[in-house]
Amino acid sequence: MNTHANLLAAEHSLLIVVDLQSRLSSAMPGPDAELMTVNAGKLAEAAGLLNIPVLVTEQYPKGLGPTAASVIEKLPENAQVFEKTGFSCCAAEGLTQALQDSRRKQIILVGQETHVCVLQTALELLHEGYQVHVAMDAVCSRKTEHKHYALQRMQHQGAIITNYESVLFEWLRDSTHPHFKHLSGFLR
């Protein structure tokens, strides 16, 4: 079957979880942070079931702490964690090499903050020739308008703005997929 090049395929996808650290999340609007964390966790768990690589970044963990425990428990065992001080994930030592080694060109971004680390990562990945998908209901900023304009800016630069349900259904592609029943439980 011939499909559109912008449809995600599990075998071409890689998930990057950007700075989902509890101390940083506590600065976000509560409902937005909760939605982001829950949806990012669902995508991380689905990625594990579907053998999709997951890369995780932590912005200055000495000051902001580790990735939130609720996210850690959803990560596949082989998820790689990268510390960084630069805002783009591409600045994290070893992350660019891990991307190249994966040989996957469809990158799904989730995390915080949309207008800083997610934005800079998306723009750099686009520049490097990756197809970037940003799950708008799995990213967050301290101010709603910052998130809104960052998503708009990324879209104007070629990023695909999507949501976690679309990502899941594109990864599955068919209700006969062996993991459909389990993953469809994420939609309730």
Nearest to 42 by CA among 29, 52, 30: 52
In terms of C-beta density within 10 A (0-12 exposed, 13-18 middle, 19 or more buried), how is residue 180 classed? middle
* Residue 45 CA: distances (Å) to CA of 3, 53, 106, 157, 182: 25, 11, 18, 29, 11
In terms of C-beta density within 10 A (0-12 exposed, 13-18 middle, 19 or more buried), how is residue 21 classed? buried
Q: What is residue 3's three-state secondary structure?
A: coil
Active site residues: 19, 84, 117
Location of structure tokens 């890689």: 14
What is the rounded CA–CA span in Å between residue 54 and residue 111? 13
What is the rounded CA–CA span in Å between residue 145 and residue 126? 23
